[in-house]
Structure 1
Amino acid sequence: MIKGLVTSMVDNLSDDLMVNMLTKDYPENFFVMATAAEKLSLVAIVEACMRGESGKALQRTYGSPNVQSQWKKLFLNPRQLFEMPTEKLEDISTEVIIGKRAIKPLRISMPVMITGMSYGGSLSVEAKMALGKGAAIAGTATNTGESSVCREERSSTNLLIGQYNRGGWLRKHEDLAQLDAIEIQLGQGAWGGAVPTSIPSNEIGDHLRECWGLREGEDAKKGARMEGVGNTEDLINLVKSLRDTYGVPVGIKIAATHFLEKELDIITQTEADFITIDGAEGGTSSAPPTLEDDMGLPTLLALNRAAKYLENKGIKDKYDLIIAGGLKTPGEFLKAIALGARAVYIGSIALIATIQSQIVKTLTDETTPQLVIYGGKLTKDLDVEKGATTLSNFLISCKEEMKLSLSAMAKTDVSQLTKEDLVCVDRELSGVLGVGFGGDACN
């Protein structure tokens, strides 16, 4: 009886809705929201409602949906006869060394690392531990992000890159001495570069306050500029000091912009070991949509320009180029290497891999970020060991697929990839990237 009553009510509602949509003029027609969504986009409508509710800048998680890097228009080039495929997978190396000139170079098992996602500014300590453990199992590195060296993260992983950040939370000698590489963070793709930000003291727990060296009631503030770096000479001296003191590779990270070459003119005056370029498609735990959607330079174009700059200057072997921003599959990783990157950073896809077997914990009341973001409602429900396992499985799977692809391309080392291993199905893009067009014969 109840089932029949509910069915009848649903039928009546659907009938009324259909009559409304097929007979009413637009001002009274429910379908008007469909045409509005097509004109304005569903994202713009939802975000307009959020803005109207709060009157504050929005904080969007995961990054921008405005993805313009055309990785799918690039294909890798296998060989079959004029060159023979590599017969044995065990003969293929995916190991990468970052900072060969450093006293203690960074050696990773594959050209894929976990990008900077900070404890406190982005993620919970449990999430950082899972990322660190997963990276360690797979033989690669993870990154502190704009935070200090959290003891739980340090003890969870083997290879840790620390961000010398604009908040000043990683400056102590005892913290810097624990790192396997140091990355001077001057900007981030998802934030349109660098802007002033702060975290209110009432949102900072005791553990994080201790890690960051904050007083009770003190807000965590991060400036748009790096304290102590006001000109090129300051940056040169900072890089030299860090390299001389700690002996590990030292790099500089910037957000990709159309002024990329002007930024590189300054960076390449330093003795940095690596340069990290973060494309506009990079993710974050929370950034205003305007900074995510409308600022910066797409990752693919930024990588190509940075690699071309280093090659034209004759210094591509001096600086290891690391690219970040929206990369997600083994194929994209290999294409990035072929275009000139030494390694890639991944973030959002690494988090998805970490929580993939635990997403059910968020249904139906909460969103997936609540499992991993600092202050999230479900962070204590995150199974660190399970997250580490699924992340390491993802990374190892990516490495195995990359080895299979390298075999097909007659390679024995991932470093052998060049632009000759790419073909493009868009003539304009092929000209921009300097790779062959699929409609033309290969010379």
Structure 2
Amino acid sequence: MKKIWRKVFLSSLAIALGYQGARFLARKIIHDVSTDAISTIMTDLYDENLWEFVSATTKFGPQVIVETNLRSQEGQMIKRPLGSPKKFPSLDQLMFNIGQLHIMPTPLEQPVDTKVVIGKNCKYPLIIDLPIMVSGMAFGAALSEKAKVALAKGASMANTATNTGEGPFLPSERKAAKKLILQYNRGNWNKSDDILKQADAIEIQIGQGATGGTGQKYNVGITDFKLAKGFGVLPAQDAVLHARHAEVSTPSELPKLVQKLKSVAGDIPIGVKFGAGKYLEMDMKWAIDAGVDFITIDGAEAATKGSAPILQDDFGIPTIFAINRAAQFLQKQNCQDRISLIAAGKIRTPGDVLKVLALGADAAYIGAIALFAMSHTQVLKPIPFEPPTQLVYYDGKYADKFDIASGAKNLAKFLKSCNDELIEGIRALGKTSVGEVNKDDLIALDDITAKGVGVPLAYEPCITPNIYNKKIPLSTEGKRHEEG
């Protein structure tokens, strides 16, 4: 009681003294509270000490503790958005060479070619101005129509391609996209000849990095007639994405599906997408024999709107190793000039893109980072009361506040900025096109990366055996200087 009266007295005194009194009182209260808290932590035994939570969090990590509580709350499988927080071996452990004297940098005036052709042997290949495309993110199952249209418009402004994802086909997305890759999903929608004929390329989705090949159910709201029509179900009915394609009950049936799509859509690039697993090369062999024009490899770091943490954290092969293995296998099969390789899975920066190109990919998909770039300052609309994703998700609380024109412009600027950096990096390597970049341009920061992708270690000399005894001929100018 004495303490209470003491605080009342101090408060009254502070009011009487004005600002200086308020400042004094605030400092006094903060001092008293913090002193009491620290004293309690320093003197209570562990079974009564709140520091026990800090100790436990340090051991288990906040991610595990939060998801443990979510599992306890829900009593069913939880779905985590935007991929795994786990630290996989990554592209960060690779560095590029710098052109100096042994290899000269490319002059500033020399043009650099970043154009990419996907489906090189097709009558109607997919030609993009930069080696970056927008990955498949589904309308309805993930993103709003506004978000999908903005992605398509932004990609078009940069003259690259966007992917429909596994959701219902959107005429508005088709109209906004100069180059549209239709994802041929494992459900029953988007399969009509009319839709297939509108594609610039078709990607048969066998699986993806964040979900493997598992099936999923999309709940369609009872009043959501547009989404229900797109999925081909009745309102309030689940749209089912099966674990396997109905046309591919065995791998030997894949060639028939590829030929069917070619016959309907014309000689456009037909490819497959799957998550990288232990038997990556065996999966690729089935696709190669089926006559595909491109293969998309999704590494273990790939993201989605929501999938089981176990699939994100504990399944698949990291992107750095998956792309390296895939490129090597295409070379061994002598089909790297016929089949394009597209890399996906936590590709975030121009450096990441250039590294997967050096490992053997022809182009890269970006997903989550494209959403961040597109949303830019618009994320201030839901923050701080809601996460930024509420701006672009189909059922997001702020989805109706998203501005398409602004989003498209921001994405286009991001893509242009990335391409400018790619050009700068290619010049620093002493090269003039994205097609010239290869593993000879890379060094590794650790033993696992060096061994895993077959590049030299950064801390070891990279010289020819006889360089110390080899007499390097002097230029005419050098000889003149020597004689002088």
TM-score (norm. length: structure 2): 0.88
The answer to whether 1:216 aligns with 2:235 is: yes
Shift of 1:427: 3.0
Shift of 1:96: 0.2
Greater alpha carbon shift after TM alignment, 79-88 vs 51-60: 79-88
Separation in structure 1 between the aligned mates of residue 33 and residue 413 of structure 2, nearest angstrom: 48
Paired residues, number: 442
Match of 2:193 among 141, 161, 173: 173
8 Å CA contact 1:273–1:319 kept in 2: the answer is yes
Secondary structure of 1:276's aligned partner: strand
Which residue of structure 1 aligns with residue 469 of structure 2? Answer: none
Which residue of structure 1 aligns with residue 402 of structure 2? Answer: 382
Residue 47 to residue 282, structure 1, CA distance change in 2 (3 Å): same
Match of 2:428 among 408, 411, 414: 408
Which residue of structure 1 aligns with residue 78 of structure 2? Answer: 58
| Structure 2 counterpart of 1:146, one-letter code | E
Which residue of structure 2 aligns with residue 353 of structure 1? Answer: 373
Which residue of structure 1 aligns with residue 310 of structure 2? Answer: 290
Separation in structure 2 between the aligned mates of residue 12 and residue 428 of structure 1, nearest angstrom: 52
Which residue of structure 1 aligns with residue 296 of structure 2? Answer: 276
Residue by residue, what CA displacement relative to the aligned partner does 1:271-323 show, whole Å, maximum 9, x if unpaired?
A: 10000010110011111111111111111111111111111222222211111
Q: Taking CA–CA contacts closer than 8 Å with sequence separation of 6 or more, which of the two structures ends up with the larger relative contact order?
A: 1
Runs of 4+ in 1 over 6 A off after TM superposition: none
Match of 2:50 among 30, 36, 49: 30
| Structure 1 counterpart of 2:316, one-letter code | G
Secondary structure of 1:253's aligned partner: strand
Which residue of structure 1 aligns with residue 412 of structure 2? Answer: 392
Separation in structure 2 between the aligned mates of residue 244 and residue 104 of structure 1, nearest angstrom: 13
Separation in structure 2 between the aligned mates of residue 293 and residue 190 of structure 1, nearest angstrom: 9
Secondary structure of 2:240's aligned partner: strand
Separation in structure 2 between the aligned mates of residue 421 and residue 252 of structure 1, nearest angstrom: 29
Shift of 1:78: 2.3
Match of 2:260 among 241, 258, 262: 241
Which residue of structure 2 aligns with residue 182 of structure 1? Answer: 202
Shift of 1:158: 0.8
Which residue of structure 2 aligns with residue 230 of structure 1? Answer: 249
Is there any run of 5+ residues in structure 1 with no aligned partner, and where?
A: none
Shift of 1:12: 3.0
Match of 2:219 among 178, 200, 203: 200
Which residue of structure 2 aligns with residue 258 of structure 1? Answer: 278
Separation in structure 1 between the aligned mates of residue 436 and residue 188 of structure 2, nearest angstrom: 39
Match of 2:61 among 24, 28, 41: 41
The answer to whether 1:329 aligns with 2:355 is: no
Higher Rg: 2
Separation in structure 1 between the aligned mates of residue 422 and residue 58 of structure 2, nearest angstrom: 39
Secondary structure of 2:289's aligned partner: coil
Secondary structure of 1:113's aligned partner: strand
Give me the identity figure in percent: 38
Residue by residue, what CA displacement relative to the aligned partner does 1:93-148 show, whole Å, maximum 9, x if unpaired?
A: 10000001112100011111000000011111111011111111111110000023
Residue by residue, what CA displacement relative to the aligned partner does 1:352-390 show, whole Å, maximum 9, x if unpaired?
A: 111121111122210111111111111011111111111
The answer to whether 1:105 aligns with 2:119 is: no
Which residue of structure 2 aligns with residue 128 of structure 1? Answer: 148
Shift of 1:415: 0.5
8 Å CA contact 1:89–1:407 kept in 2: the answer is no
Shift of 1:9: 4.1
Separation in structure 2 between the aligned mates of residue 442 and residue 392 of structure 1, nearest angstrom: 42
Separation in structure 1 between the aligned mates of residue 95 and residue 463 of structure 2, nearest angstrom: 14
Shift of 1:218: 2.2
Which residue of structure 2 aligns with residue 300 of structure 1? Answer: 320
8 Å CA contact 1:190–1:283 kept in 2: the answer is yes
The answer to whether 1:155 aligns with 2:175 is: yes
Secondary structure of 2:136's aligned partner: coil
| Structure 1 counterpart of 2:463, one-letter code | C
Two-structure CA RMSD over aligned residues (Å): 1.6
Mapping 1:131-142, distance limit 5 Å: 131-142=151-162
Shift of 1:326: 0.4
8 Å CA contact 1:89–1:404 kept in 2: the answer is no
8 Å CA contact 1:77–1:423 kept in 2: the answer is yes
Separation in structure 2 between the aligned mates of residue 207 and residue 73 of structure 1, nearest angstrom: 46
Secondary structure of 2:245's aligned partner: coil
The answer to whether 1:17 aligns with 2:22 is: no
Is there any run of 5+ residues in structure 2 with no aligned partner, and where?
A: 1-13, 16-21, 465-484
Separation in structure 2 between the aligned mates of residue 227 and residue 186 of structure 1, nearest angstrom: 11
Separation in structure 2 between the aligned mates of residue 350 and residue 412 of structure 1, nearest angstrom: 26
Separation in structure 1 between the aligned mates of residue 456 and residue 223 of structure 2, nearest angstrom: 52
Separation in structure 1 between the aligned mates of residue 222 and residue 323 of structure 2, nearest angstrom: 37
8 Å CA contact 1:436–1:442 kept in 2: the answer is no
Residue by residue, what CA displacement relative to the aligned partner does 1:227-270 show, whole Å, maximum 9, x if unpaired?
A: 11112331011111212332210000011111112211211111
8 Å CA contact 1:320–1:342 kept in 2: the answer is yes
Residue 156 to residue 311, structure 1, CA distance change in 2 (3 Å): same
Separation in structure 1 between the aligned mates of residue 79 and residue 290 of structure 2, nearest angstrom: 35
Secondary structure of 2:127's aligned partner: strand
Shift of 1:205: 2.0
TM-score (norm. length: structure 1): 0.96
| Structure 2 counterpart of 1:253, one-letter code | K
Separation in structure 2 between the aligned mates of residue 442 and residue 380 of structure 1, nearest angstrom: 59
Separation in structure 2 between the aligned mates of residue 137 and residue 146 of structure 1, nearest angstrom: 23
Mapping 1:64-79, distance limit 5 Å: 64-79=84-99
Secondary structure of 1:72's aligned partner: helix
